[in-house]
Structure 1
Amino acid sequence: MSVKSLSSLFSFSKQSSSLSSYSSPSDILSPRTPKQTFSESMVEENIGNVETIITKWELSSSSNTKVTSLFLHDRKEAKQLLKGVKDLRQAMQFLHSENSTSDKLVHAQNLMQIAMKSLEHQFYQILSKNRDQLDPESVLSALSVSGQSSDRLSSLEDEGVEGSEDEDELKRAGENITEMERVSQFPISDLKAIADCMISCGYGKECTKIYKLIRRSLVDEKLYQLGIERFKASQIHKMNWEELEPMIKKWLSAVKIAVKTIFTGEKFIYDHVFSAPTTAIRESCFGDVTKGGAMNLFRFPELISKSKKSPERIFRLMELYEALSELWPEIESIFNIESTSAIKLQALSSLNKLGDSVRIVLSNFESTIQKDSSKTLAVGCGIHPLTRSVMSYISSLGDYSRILSDIIADYPPPNNSTFPEHYFASPISSDNQTPAVSVHLAWLILVLLCKLDRKAQLYKDVSLSYFFLANNIQFIVERVRTSQLKHLLGDEWVFRQEKKIKQYALNYETMAWTKVFSSLPEKTSSEISPEAAKECFRNFNAAFEEAYMKQTSMVIPDEKLRDAVKISIAKKLLPAYREFYDAYLVMSGGEKNLELLARFGPDDLVNYLSDLFPGTLMLSSSSSSSSLSSSCSSESQGSIRH
C-alpha cells in the first residue's frame, strides 16, 4: 500500500472538536457497560491519567514513530492503552449524563479520537506485519499440530493483552502452548482486543474498513496462487475444449484447498477477531472479504456447463459436480450469514447447471445412437464400431455411478415405460426399487441393442444376421461383466443376455450348417448301395465346401464364444460323418475310384473347422484345433445325433 493510500486510510474528519466528528455521540456514550458512579473530581483525575497514555501513543508523537507495533513492542503498555480507552468511555458517559455540552466532554471526545486513530494504526500494523502468521493455512495448521480446537484460542484470548501483564505471564498460564500456536494466536487475540475496543466505542466501521482491505487482498492473492483466474463468460465460451480441460483440472485441484483452507481459515480468524455480538459489522465484513474471490471460484463450473455439450465432456462435468457436492456442507457452514448468501446461491446454481448439462449430454448421446444411419457392415460379421464406442462410453459412465446417481435420481430416462418385464432382477435398493443409474444405463444399452437389431437386417443371409448379433451381444456382456456395470445391472441381466447369445448362435448354426448335416444319411448301414453312398459323398462335399467358403470370411473375437460355436458344430458333424465314412470304406472294399469321392477325412474336417472364425481376419485360431479334436474324439461313433 502506498504512503498516500495509508494516509487516506487513517484520515479523520475535520470536525475533530465535536462529538459528531468521527462517530455519533450515541455510539460512544450509550451505556453498554454498567454505569459507574463518579464524582467530578474523580472524572477529571481519570481523564488526566488516560490522557497521558493516549497522547504518548498518538501517531504524531516522537515515541510512536519509533515503534511500528505497540502490541509487539510492549504488551504491558498496549494493555494500559486499551484499559485507558475503556476508562475514558466510562468518564464520557458520566459527563454526558451531567452536562452534554461541557468543555470536558469535548476534550474527552478529542482524546477518544486520538486513541481510536492510534488503535486503528495498530490494527493495520498487526494485519499487515503478520500476514504469514495470519495466513489461513498457517492458522489451521497451528491448531492441527497442537491438536486443539478453537476453544483453546478463546481461552488464550481471555488471557491475552487484557488479562496478562506480559508474554511471560501468558506462557505461565499455558505452558503446553506450542511455538506455532503462540506465533499465530497472539496476533489474533490482539486484533480481537482492538476490534472489541473500537466497536464498543462506536468505531466499528473504521476497524472493519482496514480489516476488509487487508484480508480481501490476502484471500484474492491465495486464490490466484492456486491458479484461480477471473474470466468473463464470453472468454470461456470462445475457448475450445483443449484450452478448457487444463483449466478444469486446475480448478478441481484448487477448489478443495480454497474451501477447506482459505475460506475455512479466514472464517476462523474472522469469527475470533469479531466475536463481539455486533451483527451488522459481522454480516458485512466477512462477506466483503470473501465475496469477490468466492463468487469467481464457484461461478467457473457454471460457465463450463454452458459450453458445447459433446459426449466426451460429460466426465469433466461430473467431476466438477462431484467436487462441489462434496464440499457443499462446508460451503453452507462457512457462508452461513446473509451477506454471503449470494455465494451459496452461486455454488448451488453451478451444481444445478452442471446437473442439467450432464442430463442433456446423456439425452444427446441416446439420440446419437438412435439416429445412427450407417449402412457399413461389420467386418466378418464381427463387432460393429457403434457397439465398441457406445459400450466404451457406457462402461466409463459406470465408473461415475455414484455421482451420476445423484444427478439423475429424479430424472427418469425418456420412453422407459415399456421396459421388458423383469428386465432387472438385481441389484435393488432397500425399498425394492432399481437404482436410477442402473435404469438409465440399462436403457442406453437397450437402445443400442435395438439399433443392432436393425443393423443385423442389412445382411441378406439371415444366418449372418444371427451371427452378427451373437458377436455383438457377447461383446456387450463381456464389457458389462468386466466393469462396474456388472454391479449396476446385476447377474440376472447378464444371464438373460447370455441366453440370447446362445439362442442366436444356435439359430446361426441351424441356418448355416443344416444343409451339411442333412447331406449325411440319417442311419448308416451296410444296406446302403454304393451309388447311394457316392451320392451322399457328392452332396456332402458340395454342401461342406459351400458352407466352409461362406464362413471363412467370418470372425468371432471372443475366444469362449468362438470355441463354443466350433465345438457345437463339430459335435453335430464329426461323429456322424466318421460313422458314415468308416462304413463306406468297408463297403467300398478297397475300390480306389470310390475313395476319390471321400475328399474329406474325419481328421481333415477337424482341421477345417479349427481354422474357422478367427479372432480377426488376420489371425487364425490354431489353438482351437486341439480342444475341438479332443472334444469330438471322446464321443463314440454315432453317439451324437442332434
Structure 2
Amino acid sequence: MTKQCSAEKLFKFLDMYETLRDVVPAMEGLFELKNEATTARCRLGEATILMFADLENSIKADTGKTLVPGGAMHPLMRYTMNYLKYACEYTDTLEQVFREHYYSRLDETQSFDDDDQKNKISEQPPQTTLFSLQLMRVMELLDSNLETKAKLYKDVGLSNIFMMNNGRYILQNIKGSTEIHDLMGNKWSHKRSSDLKQYHKNYQRETWSKLVGCLSNEGLNVNRKVVRSVLKERFKSFNQMFNEIHKTQSTWVVSDKQNQSELRVSISAVVIPAYHPSWGGSRNIFTLGDQRRSM
C-alpha cells in the first residue's frame, strides 16, 4: 500500500507541476503571486526528483531472502516496471523537471554518491538527458538486485529460469512503451536480449546437457564391441535423471508463452537427436541378446 501511495503521489505532484508551469506565464503584473507560484513549482520539481531517489532506496533496501516459488516474477520487479511505465507517460514533464531542478537538488543534498553521479553525467554524450540517466540508474539497481536474489536459488537451472522470467518481463515492458524504449535506447534493449539468450543457454547446459551426457559413447565399446551391461546402465541413468528433472521442474514457472515455446524447441533439439540414434542403434543389441538367451 505504501508503494502504491508513493506512485500516486508522484503523479499528483506532476499534475500540479504542469498546472503551475502553464499558469505562471499568465501572472504578469502579479509579482508576489507569481513568485509564490514559481517557488511552489520548484519545490514540486525537487520533490519529484527525491521520489525517484526514494525508488532507488526502496530497491536497495529490498534485501529479503524469501525465494519466489518456481522462479516466477518478483514483486519488486513488477512494481518497479509499472512505476516507470506510468511515470513515463509524463516524459516531457519529467525531462523538464530533471533539466531545471536536478542540480539544485544535488546542491542541497550533496553526498559522495552525488559527486559520482555528476561525474557520470559529464561523461555522457550530449544528447543523453538527465531523466534517461535516472531511468538507467534505476534499471542498473534492479538488475543488481535480481542477480542477488537469483543466487539464493540452490538449483542453478532454476536461478536462470528466475532471471529469464524477470528479464523477459522487463524487456517486454521496455519495448511495449515507446517513451521508455526511446529513453533507454536500442543498445540497452540489444544487451538485454543477449542476456536472456545467455540465461537460456545456461539453463540448458546445467540441466539438459548433463542429461545427454548419460548417453556418451565413452567407455561403451571394448574391442570394437558394445558392452551391453554398460549400455543398459547408461539408459537406466538417463531415465532416472530424466524422471528427476521432470519431477523437479514440474513446479517451476515459465510465465511467458514465447519463452515456453523457445524452451520446448531448444530442449527437444538437444535431447531427441542424442536419444534416438543411441536407442535406435542399441535396440538391436538388446533384441539380439534376448533372442540368443531364448535359443
How would you bin the TM-score normalised by the shorter chain?
A: 0.7 to 0.9
> Hey, what does 1:225 align to over in structure 2?
none
Aligned length: 271
The answer as to 2:193 corresponding to 1:513 is no
The answer to whether residue 177 in structure 2 is matched with residue 468 in structure 1 is no
Q: Is 1:550 the counterpart of 2:231 in the alignment?
A: no
- In structure 2, the gaps of 5 or more residues are 104-112
- The alignment's TM-score, normalised by the length of structure 1, stands at 0.40
Query: Contact 1:405–1:437 at 8 Å: present in 2 too?
Result: yes
Residue 479 of structure 1 pairs with residue 169 of structure 2 = no
8 Å CA contact 1:380, 1:553 repeated in 2: yes
Is 1:581 aligned to residue 291 of structure 2? no
Q: Which stretch has the larger CA shift, 373-382 or 442-451?
A: 373-382
Equivalent in 13, 24, 27 of residue 328 of structure 1: 24
Per the alignment, do residues 418 and 547 of structure 1 end up closer, same or farther by CA in structure 2, a change over 3 Å counting?
farther
Deviation at 1:315, TM superposition (A): 0.6
Please say if 1:541 is aligned against 2:239. yes
The residue number in structure 1 matching 2:108 is: none
CA deviations on 1:306-343 (whole Å, 9 max, x unpaired) are xxx83431011101111221333333xxx23xxx2101
1:382/1:555 contact within 8 Å kept: yes
Q: What amino acid does structure 1 have at the position aligned with 2:154?
A: K
Partner Cα separation in structure 2 for residue 546 and residue 516 of structure 1: 10
Q: 1:352 aligns with which of 42, 62, 70?
A: 42
- Structure with greater helix share of residues: 2
Deviation per residue, 1:56-83 (Å, 9 max, x gap): xxxxxxxxxxxxxxxxxxxxxxxxxxxx
User: Residues of 2 paired with 1:514 and 1:481: CA distance?
Assistant: 32
Question: CA separation in 1, counterparts of 2:119 and 2:62?
Answer: 22
* Aligned match for 1:313, one of 1, 5, 9: 9
Q: Distance in 1 between matches of 2:196 and 2:165?
A: 8
Comparing 312-321 and 544-553, the one that deviates more = 544-553
SS of 1:555's partner is: coil
Distance 1:379 1:461 in 2: 12
- The match for 2:131 is 437
Question: Distance in 2 between the 1:592 and 1:401 partners?
Answer: 74
Distance 1:326-1:544 versus aligned 2 partners, 3 A rule: same
Cα distance, 1:416 vs structure 2: 3.9
Post-superposition offset of 1:545 = 1.5
1:456 aligns with 2:154: no
Residue 515 of structure 1 contacts residue 543 of structure 1 at CA under 8 Å; is this kept in 2? no
Out of 182, 196, 199, the residue aligned to residue 501 of structure 1 is 196
SS across alignment from 1:377: coil
- Structure 2: distance between partners of 1:560 and 1:536: 34
Cα deviation, residue 578, structure 1: 0.7
Aligned to 2:107: none
For residues 117 and 141 of structure 2, the distance between their equivalents in structure 1, rounded to whole angstroms, comes to 11
- Which structure 1 segments of 5+ residues have no match? 1-240, 242-308, 425-430, 594-642
Matched with 1:341 is 31
5 Å matches for 1:272-291? none
Structure 1 residue matching 2:144: 3-state secondary structure: helix
Residues 416 and 443 of structure 1 are in contact (CA less than 8 Å); yes or no, is this contact kept in structure 2? no
CA distance in structure 2 between the aligned counterparts of 1:549 and 1:557, rounded to whole angstroms: 19
Residue 486 of structure 1 and its aligned partner are, at CA, apart by: 1.1
Amino acid corresponding to residue 317 of structure 1 in structure 2: F
Cα distance in 2, alignment partners of residues 461 and 585 from structure 1: 34
Cα displacement (A) at 1:496: 0.2
Cα drift, residue 528 of structure 1: 1.9
1:590 to partner: Cα distance: 6.3
Matched, 1:361 2:51: yes
Larger relative contact order, structure 1 or 2 (CA cutoff 8 Å, min sep 6): 2
Alpha-carbon separation, structure 1, partners of 2:119 and 2:75: 27
SS in 1 for 2:225: coil
Q: Which amino acid aligns with 1:396?
A: Y
Superposed CA deviations along residues 574-610 of structure 1, whole A, max 9, x for unmatched, are 11101111112222226679xxxxxxxxxxxxxxxxx
1:382–1:472 contact (8 Å) kept in structure 2: yes
Distance (whole Å) between structure 1 residues aligned to residue 69 and residue 86 of structure 2: 25
Are the equivalent residues in 2 in contact too, given 1:311–1:365 (CA < 8 A)?
no
Amino acid across the alignment from 1:453: E
Q: Which residue of 2 aligns with 1:491?
A: 186
| Contact residue 322 and residue 403 of structure 1 kept, 8 A | yes
What pairs up with 1:612-627 in 2 under 5 angstroms? none
Alignment RMSD: 2.6
Q: Give the 4+ runs in structure 1 shifted more than 3 A.
A: 412-419, 522-527, 590-593
Pair 1:553–1:502, CA change in 2 (3 A): same
What is the one-letter code of the residue matched to 1:460? K
Task: Check conservation: 2:20, 2:37, Cα contact below 8 A.
Answer: yes
Give the number of the structure whose alpha-carbon radius of gyration is greater: 1
- In the TM superposition, what are the counterparts of 1:47-446 in structure 2 within 5 Å? 310-331=6-27, 335-336=28-29, 340-409=30-99, 411=102, 414=114, 415-416=116-117, 432-446=126-140
Distance 1:472 1:522 in 2: 38
Question: Does the 8 Å contact 2:163/2:199 carry over to 1?
Answer: yes
| Inter-partner Cα distance in structure 2 for 1:416 and 1:349 | 26
CA pair 529-328 structure 1, distance change in 2 beyond 3 A = same
Q: In structure 2, do the counterparts of structure 1 residues 470 and 418 end up closer, same or farther at CA, with 3 Å as the change threshold?
A: farther
Q: TM-score, normalised by structure 2?
A: 0.83
The answer on whether the counterparts of 1:382 and 1:556 sit within 8 Å (CA) in structure 2 is yes
Deviation at 1:474, TM superposition (A): 1.1
Report sequence identity in percent: 27
Counterpart of 2:257 in structure 1 is 559
